[in-house]
Amino acid sequence: MNINLTTLAWRNIRSRRTRSWLTILGMLIGVMAIVTLISVGTGVENAVLRQFKDIGLDVVLLTPRIGWSSTASIGSHTGGSLGESSLGSDSALGEPIPMGDNESPVERAEFDPLRLCRDVPDITEIGQIATRVLSISTEELAGFVRVLTPSHDLIARFPGLLGGFVLARGRSLTPGNPREVVLGAHVAEDMGVGIGETIDIGGVSFSVVGILAPAREEREAIGGDLVSGEGVEVFQALSSTDDAVFVPYDEAATLWQDRAMSSMVAIRIRTGVSVTETISAINEALTQQGVSMSPVSTQALADNVQRTLGMVKTVLASIAAISLLVGVVGMMNTMYTAVLERTREIGILKSIGAKDRQVLGLFLIDSGLMGLAGGILGLAFGIGVSFIGTSMLGRLLGVTSFSPAFLPWLLIGVVALSFVLGALAGAWPAWHASRLDPVRALRST
């Protein structure tokens, strides 16, 4: 009989076409909002988290605490792989360099990468980088530019921190050639310089040896606009490579020691070890060195970002859920009106033998079908609007390479939920209908 109740319910929906469509529209809008907001939000989340995965989730970043002058404290250490060859030789990491005279007593401490590596055996790789803003000029143009000064090991072992450091032309910086520079894509284009040409940075001439490919767009736009938190800003600044130039770490430290704006040490830890325990060991080692640096793992940053975006998604989904709730209330109103209008029909059904549960089922199927229709249409429109929304958002942020993520559980769940919500919306009116006295129902006008 269920099939026949469904047929009857479907006929009823069709018989009050306009009202049914308006009711379905209420559900459609709610479902569409949920699908769109969650899909676009998840797409953004995936794009941002992809950056962390590119860097590696086994990386710990050491960033200076307030009052800590990074370039001086990090000194001329170039970092390196902590295999036997590098760990066994101080030259690989350089000698500890004391802080400058103008630093506070706490800040006078020395950062010794080699000692850190010895104190924390789970460190496998280490690299350093500092950032400065310096003048730049050619024969025709002059201005200021962000100068990133990565150690060779950072370029080789942590390219993800530099947006992949993908060369479009030329070659990378090489040890033993201090006066070389690699240009970001926009800098090279804006200044009109090519491989082999000479440019002046901070009053020193450098030979252009390489030009980077344009950075992935989401790396610059999404991360920059949506993500914040300890360590994330540094990471964002480093991965925005298009408008930067790259000079070897040692050379920069020698030339512009007092002009560093920020610096960072990247550490890769051994696979399988506890990140939390390793960070505790690093903290302990840094305390023993008297260095004021703050370690944070990319995993923690990723978790932080995920948590932040998760909260944003939850808020947006909650707003969408409210619109779905409004749709449910609209459906409840429609169903209650339908029960009032169809009281005599209920009386007829009861007089010819319909049981209370069959009348209940008829109205539940009626509202469930409308909910299902709203869910399916809302899903279809939601998918369409997600693509349109992503495109518009991308254009607004200058990003074209991220797309909405349609989670299978969301697609199936939202359709099932709309059927259930539709049926629930009709539950009270249906119960009311099932309890009607058949004689009174038959006498109703």
Partner 1 sequence: MISLVGVRKSYKRGSKAVHAVRDFDLDISRGVFTIIMGPSGSGKSTLLHLIGCLDTPTAGRIMLEGINLAALSSNERAELRSRRIGFVFQGFHQIANLSAIENVELPMLLSGATRRAARARARAALERVSLGGRIDHRPTELSGGELQRVAIARALINDPDLVLADEPTGNLDTETGQQVTCLLRDLAGCGSTPIVVTHNPEYAKFAGSLVCLRDGRRVDSLNTSKLEVVT
Distance CA 250, CA 180 (A): 12
Listing DSSP states for 205-221 in one string gives EEEEEEEEPPPPHHHHH
**In whole angstroms, how close is the CB of 334 to partner 1 at the nearest point?**
16
Piece in contact with partner 1 (CB under 8 A), picked from 9-17, 202-210, 220-228, 366-374: 9-17
Q: How many residues does the chain have?
A: 445
| Amino acid, res. 154 | L
Distance CA 398, CA 228 (A): 19
Could you write out the three-class secondary structure of 77-109?
Answer: CCCEECCHHHHCCHHHHCCCCCCCCCCCCHHHC
Ranges within 236-275 binding partner 1 (CB under 8 A): none
**Looking at beta carbons only, is 258 or 437 nearer to partner 1?**
437
Ranges within 210-239 binding partner 1 (CB under 8 A): none
**Looking at beta carbons only, is 18 or 271 nearer to partner 1?**
18
Nearest alpha-carbon partner for 166 in 207, 126, 216: 216
395 contributes a contact to partner 1 by CB under 8 A = no
> Going residue by residue from 339 to 358, which x/- string records binding to partner 1, judged by CB under 8 A?
-----xx-xxxxxxxxxxxx
> Going residue by residue from 356 to 385, which x/- string records binding to partner 1, judged by CB under 8 A?
xxx---------------------------
21 contributes a contact to partner 1 by CB under 8 A = no
14 contributes a contact to partner 1 by CB under 8 A = yes
280 contributes a contact to partner 1 by CB under 8 A = no
Q: Are 35 and 383 in contact (CB under 8 A)?
A: yes
337 contributes a contact to partner 1 by CB under 8 A = no
**In whole angstroms, how close is the CB of 5 to partner 1 at the nearest point?**
9
Q: Are 190 and 163 in contact (CB under 8 A)?
A: no
> Going residue by residue from 398 to 417, which x/- string records binding to partner 1, judged by CB under 8 A?
--------------------
438 contributes a contact to partner 1 by CB under 8 A = yes
Nearest alpha-carbon partner for 201 in 229, 220, 182, 217: 182
19 contributes a contact to partner 1 by CB under 8 A = no
Q: Residue 150 phi/psi, 5° resolution?
A: -80, 150
- Element spanning 365, H or E: helix 356-397
Piece in contact with partner 1 (CB under 8 A), picked from 23-31, 198-206, 227-235, 434-442: 434-442
- Please identify which residue in the block is written with the tokens 């949920």: 34
> Going residue by residue from 28 to 67, which x/- string records binding to partner 1, judged by CB under 8 A?
----------------------------------------
In terms of phi and psi (left: phi > 0; alpha: psi -120 to 50; beta: otherwise), the region of 196 is left
Helix (H, G, I), strand (E, B) or coil at 60: strand
Distance CA 382, CA 387 (A): 9
Distance CA 24, CA 109 (A): 69
3 contributes a contact to partner 1 by CB under 8 A = yes
**Looking at beta carbons only, is 5 or 405 nearer to partner 1?**
5
433 contributes a contact to partner 1 by CB under 8 A = no
Distance CA 240, CA 220 (A): 6
Piece in contact with partner 1 (CB under 8 A), picked from 5-13, 31-39, 272-280, 306-314: 5-13
Interacting residues toward partner 1 by CB under 8 A: 1, 3-4, 8, 11-12, 14-15, 344-345, 347-358, 437-439, 442
